[in-house]
Chains A and B, each alone.
Chain A
Amino acid sequence: MTTNALKVETGNWIEVVALEDIPQLGSRVIRTDTMNIAVFRTAGDEVFAMKDECPHKKGPLSQGIVHGTSVTCPLHNWKIDLASGEALGPDEGCTNVFPVKIENGIVHVDFQNR
Chain B
Amino acid sequence: MKEKLVLVGNGMAGVRALEELFKHETDQYDITVIGAEPHPNYNRIMLSPVLASEKTIDDIILNSREWYAENNIELITGDGATEISRVKKAVITESGKEITYDRLLLATGSNPFIIPVPGADKEGVIGFRDIHDVETMLAAAREYKNAVVIGGGLLGLEAANGLMKQGMNVTVVHLLDSLMERQLDKPASAMLKASLEQKGLKFLMEAQTAEITGDKRVTGVKFADGSEVEADLVVMAVGIRPNIELAQKAGIYCERGIVVNDTMQTYDPRIYAVGECVQHRNECYGLVAPLFEQAKVAANHLAQVGSTRYEGSVTSTKLKVTGIDLFSAGEFNEEEGDEAMVLQDPASGTYKKLVIRDNKIKGAVLYGDTMDGTWYFQLMREGTSIADFRRTIMFGQHDLGDAGHGDAQVLALPDSAEICGCNGVCKGDIVNAISKKGLFTLEDVRAHTKASSSCGSCTGLVEALLASTVGEGYDEKPSKKPMCGCTEHSHDDVIKAIKQHELKTMPALREFMVWKTPDGCAACRPALNYYLLANWPEEYEDDAQSRFINERAHGNIQKDGSYSVVPRMFGGLCTANDLRTIADVSDKYNVPEMKVTGGQRIDLFGIKKEDLPAMWKDLSDAGFVSGHAYGKAMRTVKTCAGKTWCRFGTQNSTGLGVKLEELTWGSWMPHKFKLAVSGCPRNCAEATIKDFGVVCVDSGYELHVGGNGGIKVRVTDLLCKVETEEEVLEYCGAFTQKYREEAHYLERTAPWVERVGLTSIKACVVDNEEQRKALYQRFRLGQKYAQIDPWKARAEGEASHEFTPLKIAG
Contact = CB atoms under 8 A, between A and B. Distances in A.
B310 interface: no
Q: Which of B453, B805, B806 has the most CB of A within 10 A?
A: B806
Contacts of A22: 801
A63 B561 contact: yes
Contact of B454 (A29, A57, A76, A79): A76
A67 B522 contact: yes
Contact of B808 (A14, A43, A67, A75): A14
Q: Which of A22, A24, A67 has the most CB of B within 10 A?
A: A67
A30 B809 CA distance: 10
A90 B448 contact: yes
B774 interface: no
Interface in A1-57: 14, 16-17, 21-26, 28-33, 36, 43, 57
Interface size class of A (residues with CB under 8 A): 20 to 34
B545 A66 contact: yes
B549 A64 contact: yes
A28 B806 contact: yes
A67 B546 CA distance: 9
A22 B454 CA distance: 30
Interface in B348-399: none
Contacts of A16: 806, 808
A67 B447 contact: no
Contacts of B520: 67
Contacts of A33: 809-810
Q: Which of A30, A89, A90 has the most CB of B within 10 A?
A: A90
Contact of B557 (A30, A74, A77): A74
B604 interface: no
Contacts of B454: 76
A75 B559 contact: yes
B583 interface: no
B358 to A, nearest CB: 41
A73 B810 CA distance: 27
Given A65-B548, A90-B447, A21 B801 contact: yes
Interface string A74-106: 111101000000000110000000000000000
Contacts of A21: 801
A89 B445 CA distance: 12
Contacts of A89: 447
Contacts of A90: 447-448
A108 B549 CA distance: 26
Interface of A: 14, 16-17, 21-26, 28-33, 36, 43, 57, 59-60, 63-68, 72, 74-77, 79, 89-90
The 6 A-B residue pairs whose C-beta atoms are closest, nearest first, are: A72-B522, A65-B522, A25-B545, A63-B549, A60-B561, A74-B549
Interface of B: 447-448, 453-454, 517-522, 525-526, 544-546, 548-549, 553, 557, 559, 561, 801, 805-810
19 contacts: A17-B806, A21-B801, A25-B546, A26-B544, A29-B806, A30-B808, A31-B805, A33-B809, A59-B561, A60-B557, A63-B549, A63-B553, A64-B522, A65-B526, A67-B520, A72-B522, A74-B549, A77-B522, A90-B448
